[in-house]
Structure 1
Amino acid sequence: MNISTHNSSSKTKKTLFCSVITNLTFWVLIAIIAGILLGHFSPENGVKMEVVGKTFVDIIKLFIGPIIFLTIVLGISGMGNLKKVGRIGVKALAYFEVISTIALAIGVGVAYFFQPGKIDKSGLTLQDASKYTNHAAENFSWLQFFFSNFTLQVLLAAIVCGILLNFYKKREQTILVLERFSKVVFTGLKYVMYLAPFGAFGGMAYTIGKFGLETLIPLGKLMLCVYLTMALFVFLILGSLLKYYKINILSILKYIKEELLLVLGTSSSEAALPSIMVKLEQMGCSKSVVGLVIPTGYSFNLDGTSIYLSMSVIFLAQLYDVHLSFFEILTVIGILMITSKGAAGVTGSGFIVLASTLTALHKIPVEGLAFLLGVDKFMSEARAITNLIGNTVATIIISKTERDFTELNLNPVSEE
């Protein structure tokens, strides 16, 4: 009996050890620590590691166009005939846009209030940003702004193609081809993200080597602000929406705790998609609403990603000491309202959309992404969890407004 218990305990420890060793977060953490140590004790060699972090960012940028195009096209065409979708689809999209905009605005507001990117009076200037700001301020033209931005052109093309695909006779075959291509692209992204520890090492070693340990202060402040903001959004905004329908947000979180743990472990809300759909139907939401809102929400209702993106843009502006006027802040929110829709629930996609947003903005150097790389992986869990909770609440709200919600049942049906 003791031998059996001992063997079981040994197997458990071995399994736990293996899961830690194969966890990407573990290696990113090791890489960050190594980068900090190299940058602090050997600044010259730390600065040389800039090319490692920059190369990783350049590789990520190659995925911007394909991922945004495929995500938007499949998200829109996946609704089926827009006329058939009707009221539920329009209501869901309106809800997504309103809540996502609130999330963006909250992110901007908190970032401006706490100023995580400011560590002294002048800010931390990683690179001379005047060539970006001065040029952008002169002879600004929306037409030139559009034609000079490949990202926005891809977004517009994707929206048009997604709508037209709904009326195409060979729609199903085309969607199958696009889905296969999408799997190939995301598989490529998955393997590229295995290089994240190298990128984190290079970015952190360069930053610490060139600017010292004090640069860790704004990164820590950014992480704290992101987690705090997402918690406030879940409990205040989403909690208030549920409270209107006499549902407690804590009871919902308890009901989907297994899905939340799965997302925490994988850093991807997509991992919990099948089980969350089943649980929402068991809870009382109608099958038709669940089938429309959840898949669509994974492209159009990413509240956690919206908060992270808006805070990160303001954070980088503060780091580069770039002043954004009220009009420019509205422009940032406007761009993010579009680009955030291209952030699928896959690890690394939020980083890609942030790169595309900075590229489209033409105000803040994209090289600043190397600075964020070190902590991006540790904020992806918060983004994914908030995205999952946001889509869960959206499904409940849409079902309630459609009066297509049976009696609330928060007792999961056990599988026999």
Structure 2
Amino acid sequence: MKNGKWKLGLTTQIFLGLILGVLFGHLFPALAVDLKPIGDMFIRMIKMIVVPLIFSSLIMGIAGTGDFKKLGRLGLKSIIWFEAATTLALVVGLTVVNVFEPGQGLQITATDAAAVTAASKKSIDMSHMLINIVPTNVVDAAARGDMLQIIMFSVFFGVAAAAVGSKGEPVVKVAVSIAEVMFQFTSYVMRLAPIGVFALIGFTVGKFGLGMLVPLAKLIGSLYFALIVFVLLVLTIASLLIRVNFFHLLRALKEPLLIAFSTASSEAALPVAMTKLEKFGVPKHIVTFVLPTGYTFNLDGSTLYSALAVVFIAQVYNIDFPLTTQLLMVLTLMLSTKGIAAVPGASLIVIAGTAAAFGLPVEGIAIILGVDRILDMARTACNLIGNCIASVVVARWEHELPDEQLAVAYAQQYDD
């Protein structure tokens, strides 16, 4: 309540947009489907912020620090945490799918065969992906939104700007100005978030209907349960290791989490998440390095989902898939889920390739296509949480997020 009048915060507005979108899509499906262009416009507005923001922020952080050994430490510590979190995600996914067996007793029905055929013909060549980390044309990489190539170029550019000393200062100042402008740009776009969320959720419910949830409710419930267990485990482990109250962090991230969940787009939540992490006290150079890198290498929710979905397909077709084979599958997924964020339909391709490699019917993917949007919402939110936790962990590991700053951040959560 402000000046005698009630004022809804942005988080509340987004949540209302989510609820109203579900109701509108259920009651007026034909009209709700026509809302898709509005939702797409909102996603595109967010995506046009990401490239200049990442580019300018990385240059500002690296050149401003000028400590190349520190950059190497950040990369190594980030990778160590990413691998630990990814392994935990795979273990949780396997455990839940084996305990609850969501694929047992499911009736196979006719589904989108074209999408399955397209997915089965695609594959992810790891050597080709490794080569493609290095861009031949940074403008082309920016146009395609290839995050890993943009990060690679920005890191080298920032290092070079720092190396030339005073001659590079004008470039760094421009980068600082661009970053600040893009953060302000983000705040303007976010005012439209409730409308964008309403349109996207309305379209999803209007097109697929709430009835699609019933036959695959066990799969949806299993994934959501697994993701919640994973997040709680990661929060507990991180809290014990670095002594941070992550309840306050989740409270600070409520807006980007709602954006990630409702839009099922990691990019849509990235600029807001970066702003919130900086307000929480994580240094800018850590946020701008760890978060974008994590979006490529630390897809905890997507990794967990891939493991769960492959075993789910085996259960649907009553194919014996022993634990030893599942562990081999885990090793495969630890490699195949890295660096695929920029690949359209990446999770589908990974699941198709893994299923085919272990002799499972690729057609099984078609069973989950109808509810993939609902599943994608949860795993996208989990991806965001995992990368935000990684940023805080690395900051504490580097001794750049002291207890005094955390105390201030905790207090701010109650002031907001």
Shorter chain as denominator, the TM-score bin is: 0.5 to 0.7
Q: 1:216 to 1:322 in 2, by over 3 A?
A: farther
Asked if the contact 1:301/1:387 (under 8 Å) is kept, the reply is yes
Displacement of 1:341 in angstroms is 2.1
User: In the alignment, does 2:241 pair up with 1:244?
Assistant: yes
Q: Cα 1:381–1:247, aligned 2, differ >3 Å: closer, same or farther?
A: same
Cα separation, partners in 2 of 1:126 and 1:261, compared to 1, 3 Å: closer
Distance in 2 (alpha carbons) for counterparts of 1:157 and 1:347: 16
Amino acid at match of 1:103: A
Unaligned 5+ runs, structure 2: 1-12, 31-53, 111-119, 147-201
> Equivalent residues in 2 for 1:383-402 (5 A)?
383-402=379-398
Quote the residue 2:169 is aligned against: none
Once the two structures are TM-superposed, the CA of residue 348 in structure 1 deviates from its matched residue by 4.7
Structure 1 counterpart SS, 2:219: helix
Cα offset, 1:365, TM superposition: 1.4
TM-score (norm 1): 0.61
> What is the CA–CA distance in structure 2 between the aligned matches of 1:282 and 1:325, rounded to whole Å?
47
Show the counterpart of 1:56.
none
- Identity among equivalent positions (%) equals 32
Pair 19,353 (structure 1): closer, same or farther in 2 beyond 3 Å: farther
| Post-superposition offset of 1:198 | 11
Aligned amino acid, residue 312 of structure 1:
A
Alignment partner of 1:367 out of 363, 368, 371: 363
Query: Which residue of the partner structure matches residue 326 of structure 1?
Result: 323
347-356 or 263-272: bigger deviation? 347-356
Alpha-carbon distance change, 347 to 250 in structure 1, aligned in 2, over 3 angstroms: farther
Q: Does 1:98 align with 2:84?
A: yes
Check conservation: 1:303, 1:386, Cα contact below 8 A.
yes
Distance 2:395 2:321 in 1: 40
Deviations 1:166-222 (A, max 9, x none): xxxxx5x62332332457xxxxxxxxxx99899969xx7xxxxxxxxxx955x2111
Gap runs ≥5 in structure 1 = 1-11, 32-73, 128-147, 166-170, 184-193, 205-214
- 1:346 Cα deviation from its structure 2 partner: 9.1
Spell out the pairing of 1:10-409 with structure 2 (5 A cutoff): 20=21, 26=25, 85-119=71-105, 151-152=123-124, 154-162=125-133, 165=134, 174-182=137-145, 217=215, 219-344=216-341, 348-359=345-356, 361-406=357-402, 407-408=405-406, 409=409
Residue 198 to residue 261, structure 1, CA distance change in 2 (3 Å)? closer
RMSD: 4.3
Q: Find the residue that maps to 1:151 and give its secondary structure.
A: coil
Supply the AA of the counterpart residue of 1:242: S
With over 3 angstroms needed to count, the CA separation of the structure-2 counterparts of 1:230 and 1:272, relative to structure 1, is same
Q: Aligned AA for 1:368?
A: G
Aligned CA distance change for structure 1 residues 302 and 280 (closer, same or farther; 3 Å) = same
Structure 2 CA distance for aligned equivalents of residues 270 and 288 of structure 1: 19
In 2: Cα distance, 1:288 partner to 1:97 partner:
21
Q: CA deviation at 1:347?
A: 8.6
Distance 2:414 2:17 in 1: 29
Q: How many residues align?
A: 303
Q: Is the 8 A contact 1:124 1:318 kept in 2?
A: no
Q: Give the distance between the partners of 2:368 and 2:257, measured in 1 at CA.
A: 25
